[in-house]
Amino acid sequence: MTTNILALPLVSMTVDTGTNEDWIDTLCYVVEDGSGSPPQLDLRGLTFTMEVRAQPEDVEVIILATTADGGLRIGEYPNFGWLMFYIPVETMREKWPGAYVGDVVVTDGEITRRCITFNLNIIEGITR
């Protein structure tokens, strides 16, 4: 299967989540074809890895997620253009509230590139 790694744009975003919830977010990659209803970019065959740190230069990884461990997921057919973030509440409860930075890299086995950069705000949940 050929992959579309070079078609992935660099996404920059801010994410707010809490210590008392599952961190669930999704991105849908589409290919603009002028039809008004663009088709999804096929993410199957790609491997995504995410690391979150307090500061870029820090050694400690606060949150690690990959498509191999299920923390990042590619949608099932017909939603193969969706990249889903799923960090369970059990993991989020262990994190200190505060501001963090992260990125996601993607590889197809030959090419590796950064596809997402983000600021992560973890908020102390009230309902525990």
At 56, which CATH number? Answer: 2.60.40.10
- Is residue 21 over pLDDT 90? yes
pLDDT score, position 26:
97
> Do the bridges between strand 82-87 and strand 72-74 make them parallel or antiparallel, or are there none, so unpaired?
antiparallel
- Is residue 80 over pLDDT 70? yes
In a domain, 3, yes or no: no
Q: Could you list the residue range(s) of the whole structural domain that residue 78 is in?
A: 9-123
CB of 59 closer than 8 Å to CB of 92: no
**Minimum mean pLDDT among 15-24, 29-38, 69-78, 92-101: which range?**
29-38
Please compute the mean of the pLDDT values over residues 78-86 and round it to a whole number: 96
CA R_g for the chain: 15
Please compute the mean of the pLDDT values over residues 21-35 and round it to a whole number: 90
- Number of separate domains in the chain: 1
pTM above 0.75, yes or no: yes
Please compute the mean of the pLDDT values over residues 120-126 and round it to a whole number: 97
Query: Which residues pair with residue 102 across a beta bridge?
Result: 52, 118
**Is the bond preceding residue 56 a cis peptide, omega within 30 degrees?**
no
pLDDT score, position 3:
67
pLDDT score, position 4:
78
- Is residue 60 over pLDDT 60? yes
CB of 64 closer than 8 Å to CB of 42: no
In a domain, 106, yes or no: yes
Q: How far apart are CA 86 and CA 79, in angstroms?
A: 16
Helix, strand, or coil (residue 44): coil
88 or 78, higher pLDDT: 88
- Is residue 35 over pLDDT 70? yes
In a domain, 73, yes or no: yes
